[in-house]
Amino acid sequence: MDLAFTAGESAFRAEARSWLAAHVPCTPLPSPETADGFDRHRAWERTLYEGGWSAVSWPEAYGGRGGSLLEWLVFEEEYHAAGAPVRVSQNGISLLAPTLLAHGTEEQRARVLPPMARGETVWAQAWSEPEAGSDLASLRSVARPAPGGLLLSGHKTWSSRAAFADRAFGLFRSRPGAGRPHQGLTYAMFPLDAEGVTVRPIGRLDGRPAFAELFLDEVFVPDADVIGAPGDGWRVAMSTAGSERGLALRSPGRFTAAARRLVALWRAAGDPGDTALRDRVADAVIRARAYELYGYGRASGDGAGAGTAESSPVKVFWSELDLALHETALDLLGADGELADTDWAEGWTFALAGPIYGGTNEIQRDIIGERLLGLPKGRRG
Amino acid sequence: MRFLLDAEQKEFGRTLDRMLTASGTPQAVRAWARGEYGPGLALWQRVADAGVFGLAAPEAYGGFGPLPAELAVAFVELGRHCVPGPLAETVAATVLLAHLGGTGPAREWVPRVCAGRARVTLTLPGGGPYALDAEAADAVFTVTGSGLLSLSPGHGPVRPSVDPARRPARPAGGGTLLASGPAVRAAAALAADWAAFATAAQALGAGLALLDRTVAYARRRTQFGAPIGSFQAVKHRLADAFTGLEFARPLVFGAAVALAAGSPTARAEVAAAKAASCDAAYTAARTALQVHGAIGYTAEYDLSLWIGKARALRSAWGGPAECRARALELFAQGSG
């Protein structure tokens, strides 16, 4: 048992660090929740791609770097330590790509993944509906057969990045009469500028259009854009749902970087006599280190712990840690803690959504109880 | 990098688990709490025979160490099975004496401690005034803040602990001076880190036992016509207890790696592990008590053995505030 990086891993870190030092914008990009800011972030994705860093863990054939899980963790540590921009391609790279790699056809991978890696196609997720949130399987949007494909109709919502994204992937009911709610669902990809699609941006808590609702009226999708077998969408979606909840979506490097900034803030602005606040800073440090070590354990493993249910405690852990880090920082800022134009305030707004998206933390606790602890299923609510 | 237990380390844990399961530890714990040490000392000998007390001591003094990862594996099992006695103190004593080296107390005591032929306990600067289970020990060592290592001539009255199987007592003053000076202070600081580390692993084990027993109870116990574990209010508390323990574990083994490497951050890593595993164990204890309800609030029910231990271990070898203050050093070097 060790935590020693090999010469190759250290060289990888050095290469990532020096590339980031040379390329990360000196002044922060405008918010990706604005049209101009989004374009700038898209351009940054292209820069990352040209450096070979946009999809570290993907196979090289699709525009990735063919890196190991450990290399990806190292890259993420360096990325966040460098204060590099938010990844607007995150949904595609960490949610859709694993699904395509597991369930897509070779044609789909070759067609979809390279433009995703280049930042040319930015993806949004279209799962939730107004009446299907935590109870996702009760979704009502439909996919009706049409010559050569499907016609999608319905109302999707809370679709992150959809205000400015190019395409979306989602779940649709293709067999309304199926016995149970999660049967007869189909996983499909569609363009957000297609005929029949209306995108209505929604202001998140701070008013910025970080997500959107989508109205679909007989949107044609060719058979080639269905992932997995028609009717098998639930299994396809759930088999990679762990990506959204676990390490892949929010890597430890994000939190260790924030914890280091928090300690620096504590040293600069903390009252040494305020041991209550000092304990909160320390607690955030301890939890960030725990997540970092957890990641190293996973990267050392043989895939054990990578299942969908195993990602549930991870999601609860990082989403609560993210809030604790930012809440503690805002408390440290004194009167400036109310100002909205600080990185900490921006991070806090972002962190507030963590316990909600990707399946609420209450749903994760159900999964932990039932699938990891073996407790009996109960009626929800 | 390979931050995983290997097959041999896992098997070591399973072997201890089987041995302790077959040993009927709750009876030994209850006897120990009454000051009847016989069954506990028989158990102690089996733990020694499995090699546990030699894991921190070097071969020169009859040990196999330092092997902190194996020590963590062992102490998780000792905690899981609620094994009584001055466990972390024994580890600390072997580290203290072996680190001082020479042919005096190290040669006299460490090989016998490793073999289970002598039981020792101690106090160290910053570790509180009580020598755990001094009454059951063959020797009580003390180190003062000024760096005097002595063999205490005895101990004061046994004080009650919230864990009845822990029997703390103040060492008597005076005694035989064994060593003094900066080397003693340095060895004592290292020994205290190992004591905190062993306590962290032991607390993790206690927490895992509390969770396991409570999950089993929640599956079995029926109210309103359904197993109580099917209710979200119960399920979610258990899920949180699980998550806390799940993320304390990597910190314990991260501390093991740091101790093995003699890393300058070892003290901070140990402190982080101690804070997290003691928090997680105590959360598991509160959850266990609440889910069991009134039956959990009885001394007669064995759950009480772990509840008291989870509380007591938090205060031993560095409380939450002390550990957090030290853990701040982990990320103190700025970004990058």
Q: Which tens digits make up the pLDDT trace of B296-318?
A: 999 999 999 999 999 999 999 99
Q: Is A244 a catalytic residue?
A: yes
Chain B CB contacts of A288 under 8 Å are: 331
Which of B3, B10, B240 has the highest number of chain A CBs within 10 A, making it the mutation to test binding with A? B3
- CATH class of the domain at B190-331: mainly alpha
Whole domain around residue A333: which residue ranges? 242-372
Are A260 and A324 in the same domain?
yes
Residue A149 shares a structural domain with residue A52: no
Q: Rounded to whole angstroms, how far apart are CA atoms B103 and B171?
A: 25
pLDDT, tens digit, 9 for 90 and up, residues A256-307: 999 999 999 999 999 989 999 999 999 999 999 999 999 999 999 866 556 7
- Please, are residues B197 and B256 in contact by the beta-carbon 8 Å criterion? yes
* Nearest alpha carbon to residue B25 among B49, B12, B11, B42: B42
B319 in reach of chain A (CB within 8 A):
no
Helices (H) and strands (E) in chain A, counts: 13, 8
CB B151 within 8 A of CB B178: yes
Number of domains in chain A: 3
Last residue of a domain, one of A236, A254, A274: A236
A254 with A152, same domain?
A: no
Global pTM exceeds 0.90? yes
Determine contact: B128 vs chain A, CB below 8 A.
no
Q: Which of A87, A117, A147 is the last residue of a domain?
A: A117
Q: For chain B, which residues score pLDDT lower than 70?
A: 333-336
List CB contacts (< 8 A) between B5 and chain A. Answer: 1
Residue B216 at interface with chain A, using a CB cutoff of 8 Å: no
| Average pLDDT of chain A, as a whole number | 94
Mutation site, A3, A332, A366, A380, interface B, largest B CB count within 10 A: A3
Q: Which of A45, A71, A129, A244 is catalytic?
A: A244
Query: Do residues A218 and A276 both lie within one domain?
Result: no
> Residue A81 is nearest to which of B253, B327, B335, comparing CB atoms?
B335
Q: By the CB < 8 Å criterion, does B335 face chain A?
A: yes
Residue A359 shares a structural domain with residue A246: yes
Q: Which two tokens stand for residue B118?
A: 């002598």
Supply the pLDDT for residue B227: 97
Domain residues of chain B, as ranges?
A: 190-331
Domain-embedded: residue A258: yes
Give the pLDDT of residue B108: 94
**Residue A207 in 3-state DSSP?**
coil
- Facing residue for A373 by CB, picked from B2, B238, B331: B238
- Domain-ending residue, one of A74, A92, A117: A117
Is the same domain home to A207 and A249?
A: no
Residue contact A288–B331, C-beta within 8 A = yes
Interface test with B, best of A360, A373, A377 (most B CBs within 10 A): A373
Classify residue A134: in a domain, yes or no: yes
Closest CA to B260 of B99, B80, B70: B70
Distance from CA of A121 to the nearest CA of B (A): 32
Q: Do A369 and B227 touch (CB under 8 A)?
A: no
Contact residues for A334 (Cβ-Cβ < 8 A; gap 6+): A269
Identify which of B5, B235, B328 has the shortest CB distance to residue A369: B235
Chain B neighbors of A374, CB-CB under 8 A: 215, 219
Residues of A in contact with B243 (CB under 8 A): 313, 316-317, 368
Would you tell me the crossing angle of helices B232-261 and B266-292 to the nearest 10 degrees? 160
- A378 lies in some domain: no
Report the CATH number that the domain containing residue A34 is assigned in CATH.
Answer: 1.10.540.10
Whether residues A133 and A113 fall in one domain: no
- The mean pLDDT of A134-158, rounded to a whole number, is 96
The pLDDT, as a whole number, for residue B335 is: 40
The pLDDT, as a whole number, for residue B333 is 62
Query: Does the beta carbon of B275 lie under 8 angstroms from any beta carbon of chain A?
Result: yes
Which single residue is written with the structure tokens 């070591």? B12
Contact across the interface for A263 and B332, Cβ inside 8 Å: yes
Domain assignment of residue A325, yes or no = yes
What pLDDT score was predicted for residue A381? 44
The pLDDT score that the predictor gives to residue B334 is 45
Residue A85's φ and ψ, nearest 5 degrees, are: -65, 160
| CATH number of the domain to which A304 belongs | 1.20.140.10
* Cβ contacts from A onto B, under 8 A: 174
